[in-house]
């Protein structure tokens, strides 16, 4: 009788382990960090609701650099990863690309401040894209953050 109870307990434990392992899952989320001159100014992930970064114009110079590092657990072979900044008036601003997953994508504030001066805009939309190396169209596009440069 003791052996039967022990066997039943073992079967129950085995069944629970099997049930939990087939119903459970592990998932990671994409995340990205934003740097100005190698200093982290914001950290986001795909669940972030407020994607706004505000930097006063007096706190930056034309020599400053804004860098984004984007990470996804979905590696793509033979892909190019890019960052594009669009002005509020849908004018295309600088674009950079790298073939390194989680590589640095850096844009100079020089071009952004020139666009701000000529077009009078203070809002820039930073979009991330991923495409195959020789492809023209991106496989993946995502708004990463909105940079606001108030006076």
3-state SS, residue 64: coil
- Asked whether residue 107 is assigned to any structural domain, the reply reads yes
54, β-bridge pairs: 148
**Residue 18: pLDDT band with limits 50, 70, 90:** low
> By residue range, what is the domain housing residue 35?
31-148
- Asked whether residue 89 is assigned to any structural domain, the reply reads yes
Residue with tokens 């990671």: 28
- Asked whether residue 106 is assigned to any structural domain, the reply reads yes
d(CA 45, CA 70): 9
- Asked whether residue 113 is assigned to any structural domain, the reply reads yes
CATH number at residue 67: 2.60.40
| pTM of full prediction above 0.75 | no
> For the CA atoms of 58, 142, 101, 96, what is the dihedral angle to 10 degrees?
-50
- Asked whether residue 6 is assigned to any structural domain, the reply reads no
- Asked whether residue 9 is assigned to any structural domain, the reply reads no
- Asked whether residue 1 is assigned to any structural domain, the reply reads no
CB 139 within 8 A of CB 131: yes
- Cβ atoms < 10 Å from Cβ of 34: 20
Helices (DSSP H) in the chain: which residue ranges? 2-23, 109-119
Q: How far is CA 116 from CA 43, 50, 85, 108, 120, in A?
A: 25, 23, 12, 13, 5
Q: Domain count for the chain, please give it.
A: 1
pLDDT value for 68? 95
d(CA 49, CA 47): 6
pLDDT in tens, 37-68: 999 999 999 899 999 999 988 899 999 999 99
pLDDT value for 58? 86
3-state SS, residue 111: helix
């Amino acid at each position: 009788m003791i052996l039967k109870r022990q066997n039943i307990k073992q079967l129950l434990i085995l069944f629970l382990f099997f049930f939990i392992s087939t119903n459970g899952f592990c998932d990671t989320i994409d995340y990205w960090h934003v740097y100005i001159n190698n200093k982290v100014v914001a950290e986001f992930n795909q669940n972030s609701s407020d994607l706004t970064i505000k930097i006063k114009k007096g706190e930056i110079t034309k020599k400053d650099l804004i860098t984004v590092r984007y990470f996804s657990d979905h590696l793509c072979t033979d892909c190019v990863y890019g960052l594009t900044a669009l002005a509020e008036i849908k004018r295309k601003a600088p674009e950079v690309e790298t073939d390194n997953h989680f590589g640095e994508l850096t844009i100079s504030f020089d071009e952004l401040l020139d666009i701000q001066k000529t077009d009078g805009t203070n809002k820039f939309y930073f979009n991330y894209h991923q495409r195959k190396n020789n492809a023209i169209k991106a496989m993946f596009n995502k708004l990463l953050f909105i940079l606001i440069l108030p006076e």
